[in-house]
């Protein structure tokens, strides 16, 4: 099976507006928390609390959650169901990060040779390797700390951070406040490796602040958007898949019946150890067979239910974006951008702005999976 990257965000939505107001207070002292950030994840839509801890934010009726973040406190996501709501207010309690001495716990690692080696691995897997991602930099890398595990089962790198990461990308013209919830890079022995990361991102437009060239930034943003997962899902929702340059096909992956079973492989390895001859391993058939099936229309992989749309299909779908070639840094023989999607556990709802929910049930492979935080633009970007 092809190597894949799993890319997760915790998304929300932006449509017909209602006013969500409230107050953010300390869960223990009940004191207001001034300067708390409240935002729609993976967007540029947000606000901060005033001196009394009060806030007001315009939200879509289809918004699923907001993020509430304050330095030294646990970040929380507030689940919302606004489908039948009018303007409303809510008091939000945040819990302070503290140990038994009632002090904020901050983990600092010595930035030695090993730390820099791990950071290099993390940066490549988190920001990506595309042309646009090469312009991205983490401004507060010192807040990162790593756990590295290497044993008989393979290699694993775990990253955590004391504060949200500040990712500056002058190419796309955004400063991303990325609240990293989880990061795992896993390379099992004898299997394809993958990267899994989960977090909340908030975008600040920096074009004026850094005196960037608007035309060049717009060109880069369009390059990041067209062919992206957001672009594809928006096109699918609007039933404009072909018009927007996407071709969709079945993609089936199944076990190769000619591949040896576990017991046979074990005997082969034992024999190879005795004789020192590993040559026949080169002649093993592929473990899995891939089959490109029929071309698909929207109704083959998107199901309607009570005016809602869901990704719902078996195995995989293959997505070819025909209006652009892959980034020059992406290693492929394909002339077009080729990606794969797989729905796991339960169907995934798709919204008109290209957003989707629940992100944990959608696996992204190929070119779309190769693009990382360095190529991110907010959900509320309109080409």
* Consecutive H or E run containing 24: strand 17-26
For residues 123 and 129, the answer to whether their CB atoms sit within 8 Å is no
Express as a percent the part of the chain with pLDDT over 70.
91
- Please report where in the chains the tokens 């005997």 appear, as a residue: 267
For residues 375 and 355, the answer to whether their CB atoms sit within 8 Å is no
Per residue in 300-334, pLDDT tens? 999 998 888 999 998 999 999 999 999 999 999 99
Paired strand residues for 145: 160
Domain ranges of the chain: 17-94, 113-223, 226-375
Rounded to whole angstroms, the Cα distance separating 268 from 260 reads 9
Residues 6 or more apart in contact with residue 362 via CB below 8 angstroms: 311, 341, 342, 343, 344, 348, 356
| Res. 35 pLDDT band, cuts 50 70 90 | very high
For residues 311 and 298, the answer to whether their CB atoms sit within 8 Å is no
CATH code of 17-94, in short, is 2.60.40.1120
Rounded to whole angstroms, the Cα distance separating 222 from 232 reads 14
Q: What is the pLDDT of residue 6?
A: 47
Could you tell me how many residues make up the chain? Answer: 383
Per residue in 218-268, pLDDT tens? 999 999 999 999 999 999 999 999 999 999 999 988 888 888 888 888 887
Taking the model in full, what pTM does it have?
0.82
* Consecutive H or E run containing 286: none
């Amino acid at each position: 099976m092809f190597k894949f990257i799993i890319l997760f965000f915790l998304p929300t939505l932006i449509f017909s507006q209602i006013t969500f107001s409230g107050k953010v207070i300390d869960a223990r002292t009940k004191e207001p928390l001034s300067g708390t950030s409240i935002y729609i994840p993976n967007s540029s839509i947000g606000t901060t609390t005033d001196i009394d801890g009060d806030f007001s934010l315009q939200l879509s009726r289809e918004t699923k959650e907001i993020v509430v973040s304050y330095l030294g406190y646990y970040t929380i996501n507030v689940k919302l169901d606004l489908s039948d709501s009018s303007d409303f207010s809510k008091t939000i309690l945040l819990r302070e990060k503290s140990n038994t001495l009632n002090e904020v716990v901050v983990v600092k690692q010595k930035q030695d040779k090993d730390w820099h080696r791990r950071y290099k691995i993390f940066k490549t897997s988190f920001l990506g390797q595309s042309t646009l991602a090469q312009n991205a930099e983490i401004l507060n890398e010192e807040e990162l700390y790593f756990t590295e595990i290497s044993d008989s089962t393979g290699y694993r790198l775990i990253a955590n951070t004391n504060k949200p990461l500040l990712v500056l990308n002058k190419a796309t013209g955004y400063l991303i406040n990325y609240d990293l919830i989880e990061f795992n890079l896993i390379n099992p022995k004898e299997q394809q490796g993958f990267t899994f990361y989960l977090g909340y991102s908030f975008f600040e437009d920096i074009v004026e602040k850094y005196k960037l060239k608007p035309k060049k930034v717009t060109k880069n943003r369009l390059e990041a958007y067209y062919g992206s997962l957001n672009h594809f899902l928006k096109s699918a929702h609007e039933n404009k898949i072909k018009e927007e340059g996407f071709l969709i096909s079945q993609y089936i992956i199944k076990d190769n019946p000619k591949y040896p079973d576990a017991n046979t492989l074990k005997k082969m390895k034992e024999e190879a150890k005795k004789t020192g001859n590993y040559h026949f391993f080169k002649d093993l058939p592929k473990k899995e067979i891939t089959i490109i099936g029929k071309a698909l229309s929207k109704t083959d992989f998107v199901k309607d239910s009570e005016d809602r749309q869901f990704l719902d299909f078996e195995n995989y779908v293959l997505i070819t974006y025909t209006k652009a070639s892959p980034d020059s840094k992406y290693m492929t023989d394909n002339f077009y951008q080729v990606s794969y999607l797989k729905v796991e556990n339960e169907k995934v709802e798709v919204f008109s702005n290209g957003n989707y929910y629940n992100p944990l049930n959608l696996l992204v492979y190929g070119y779309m999976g190769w693009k990382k935080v360095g190529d991110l633009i907010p959900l509320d970007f309109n080409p």
